[in-house]
Amino acid sequence: MEFLSYIPWYAWVAIVSIVGWILITLVTTIVGGRKDAEKKVIDALDSNAAANRALTERLDQLDKRLASVEKTLNDIP
């Protein structure tokens, strides 16, 4: 560790700056990747919700048709 004392102070400024920049870039990349993943999940959930609404609507229509068929069958003497 004695070799560290041979590095001048202005070189330490550059070294610390480079290490800091690397850390900031890593954190930004990780957080940005999470935001992208979060956006994809939200989009998928919205898509699933729309599909579920359409399916519920279709099932309601089928239920109404079934009720009318049952009513017709009950009305037959």
Structure tokens, 6: 């041979």
Name the residue with tokens 């935001």. 35
Distance from C-alpha of 34 to C-alpha of 15, rounded to nearest angstrom: 29
Q: What is the pLDDT of residue 1?
A: 65
| Top-ranked range on mean pLDDT: pick from 32-36, 39-43, 59-63 | 59-63
Structure tokens, 10: 């202005």
pLDDT in tens, 5-37: 788 888 889 999 999 999 999 998 888 878 888
